[in-house]
Structure 1
């Protein structure tokens, strides 16, 4: 799933070539552009269809593009899927722009009861989590078999977080790499994380618990204040390549 999230940053020919290497014979691309003053230029995603599995991966963006909404606690909420709670307006609008395309692809490609997975890095992780929520709460006939996010920002209010945690027990995996600053934004209490945290420590080991959700350590608070500093640990640890490398090392150690 981390590699699939990383692939979302590539161009369409690269995605299709890699999909064939992975054994997927069908690919659908999703793309919507935005007009100013929306802080994001576009939303991109792709869906891979195979004999047994369907994967939809959402592309993230540079932290610089997210600064406006990630640090704003007063962003107007967007009603949550199926009337459950509320979500960050910018994230919801970004997903809404491609959701009809994604839903059409899922219905087209799921022709043999395949398992369905959503994934994404950074902003893409927020969209993957919301896609899972929309599919489950708005179309109860189909629930994603897994949602994997990497460096996901806080996405929804406590009400939707509770509903999502109940619905996605053992099916949600939210990875945070060491000092990654993006998962600390937007600020609490308006926005909350869903559960199922998997924290990657400085040695590359993966843990199910960590004192990260309760607040950053002093060093981390400084990183959050300087979100755009490219030399900061918080930005280096947010890169999708850092997630892929750390999880590959962890898999090798377990193997």
Structure 2
């Protein structure tokens, strides 16, 4: 028997005394009990926006305060849903953003390169739109994998840089006078664009330094020198076998930036070592074949990121309602949000 398995029962009178002391410390503010964040709530009934013959936009986040006051998982859900909203036309996006808690919506579009600015009384969020299969400009950007000199340092993907070059003058103008905390997010191509935009904003004359960058299913963006030049809080969600997160290939010199947040084949968020991750991906691939699908492609849609995060937020809120602590980013990643080369 291991020593850790030996437990000495605490006498009832001693347990009662411990509870009374704990209650006294809590009442006097010596011990702070965790409570659910008031900055974001989950809607009792999800908000739905749908045009005829189109897939509905479903949102669960209900922003009540500053993003900085949200838990890590609440932020993750909010930015994933805003990245989803960014795929929609201006009318749908405006209605959906208002449901989430952002009444000020601006759409930026230049030759198919697109992004939204969502604002409320507390924050400003730039959400870059991801790849749309029927948009030739997006397909061309994804395929143009040659690297070119970046605006900052090192080299970046030519196609992604071109997309940002088209948008950046408009975004820069919109952000120059901004005095609110600014955040960036995006899915797929939108994640790559958001990464480059956040880096430019960080190094520009814009006073609002990016508070954070959240990307979902993002491809690699630049080389090692580029990703190490700017260090800002960047959380990069990867869903199991999502093929987009593995391109462009590392042998071309591309590296991932940000801290990886991994979603396993069962939809659980948490850090896995290299061997366990490979095993998890292999099991996910085999399970996909049994369901007559290729896991590498079916893992990429944004709703397959949102669903696990939503479930994690619900569990966190239940736990915090019982006085437990919020989930910290390091609990899920095993490290601080610094740049990692992979």
Deviation digits for residues 73-109 of structure 1, max 9, x if unmatched? xx43222233x1111000000011111111122234x
- The answer as to 2:148 corresponding to 1:78 is yes
User: Alignment partner for residue 205 of structure 1, among 263, 268, 272?
Assistant: 268
Query: Within 5 A, what are the aligned runs for 1:87-236?
Result: 87-108=156-177, 110=178, 113-139=179-205, 141-164=207-230, 167-168=231-232, 171-189=233-251, 190-211=253-274, 219=282, 231-236=293-298
Q: 1:60 to 1:81 in 2, by over 3 A?
A: same
Partner SS state of residue 145, structure 1? strand
Q: CA deviation at 1:12?
A: 0.5
Residue 70 of structure 1, CA deviation: 5.4
Which of 106, 111, 117 is matched with 1:28 structurally? 106
Q: Does 1:56 align with 2:126?
A: yes
8 A Cα contact 2:142 2:159, kept in partner: no
TM-score, structure 2 normalization: 0.61
TM-score normalised according to structure 1 size: 0.80
CA distance in 1, matches of 2:312, 2:121: 28
Q: Secondary structure at the match of 2:93?
A: helix
Find the aligned partners of 2:143 and 2:280 in 1 and give their Cα distance. Answer: 18
With 58-67 and 174-183 compared, the bigger mean Cα shift is at: 58-67
Q: Deviations over 1:57-85 (max 9, x none)?
A: 0111157977777577xx43222233x11
Unaligned runs of 5+ in 1: 34-41, 224-229
Q: How many residues align?
A: 229
Are residues 1:249 and 2:311 paired?
Answer: yes
Q: What are the superposed Cα offsets for residues 205-236 of structure 1, whole Å, 9 maximum, x if unpaired?
A: 21245439x9898859x99xxxxxx9311111
1:2 deviates by: 0.2
Higher relative CO (CA 8 A, sep ≥ 6), structure 1 or 2?
A: 1
Deviation readout 1:114-168 (Å, 9 max, x if unpaired): 111100000000001111111112336432101000000000011011123xx21
- Aligned partners of 2:146 and 2:110: how far apart in 1? 22
| Cα RMSD for the two superposed structures | 2.8
- Partner-residue secondary structure (3-state), 1:207: coil
| Alpha-carbon distance, 1:24 to partner | 2.1
Work out whether residues 28 and 46 of structure 1, in 8 Å CA contact, stay in contact via their aligned partners in 2. Answer: yes
Residue 49 and residue 71 in structure 1: after superposition, are their counterparts in 2 closer, same or farther (change >3 A)?
closer
Aligned-partner Cα distance in 1 for 2:139–2:176? 35
Distance 1:71 1:9, change over 3 A: closer
Q: Quick check: which has more Rg, 1 or 2?
A: 2
Matches of 1:129 and 1:123, distance apart in 2: 10
Q: Verify the 8 A CA contact 2:142 2:160 in the aligned structure 1.
A: no
Rounded to whole Å, the distance in 2 between the matches of 1:122 and 1:91 is 11
Conserved? CA contact 1:81–1:138, under 8 Å: no
